[in-house]
């Protein structure tokens, strides 16, 4: 019985993934990080710098 649920979940996940990939603009993560490998670090750095600044009055 557990095999059925594992297979059903795997199949449903694949179907949903294919639907989303066909109908929405899903970014290609591999090519994005090849162009800018430090993108995630840069975003994190901007967030940290924004939190360090005191609120302006």
| pLDDT tier, 24 (very low <50, low <70, confident <90, very high otherwise) | confident
Any domain includes 11: yes
Any domain includes 28: yes
Highest mean pLDDT: which range of 8-17, 23-32, 35-44, 48-57: 8-17
Tally of domains within the chain: 1
- Measured between alpha carbons, how far is 51 from 47 in angstroms, rounded to an integer? 6
DSSP single-letter state for residue 26: -
pTM, to two decimals: 0.45
Give me the mean pLDDT over the 33-39 stretch.
Answer: 69
Mean pLDDT, the chain, integer: 79
Any domain includes 33: yes
DSSP single-letter state for residue 55: P
- Measured between alpha carbons, how far is 22 from 43 in angstroms, rounded to an integer? 28
Any domain includes 57: no
Q: What are phi and psi of 38, to 5 degrees?
A: -100, 20
Q: What domain range is 10 assigned to?
A: 2-52
């Amino acid at each position: 019985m557990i095999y059925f649920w594992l297979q059903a979940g795997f199949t449903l996940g694949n179907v949903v993934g294919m639907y989303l990939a066909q109908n929405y603009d899903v970014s290609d993560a591999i090519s994005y990080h090849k162009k800018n490998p430090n993108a995630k670090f840069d975003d994190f750095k901007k967030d940290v710098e924004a939190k360090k600044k005191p609120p302006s009055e």
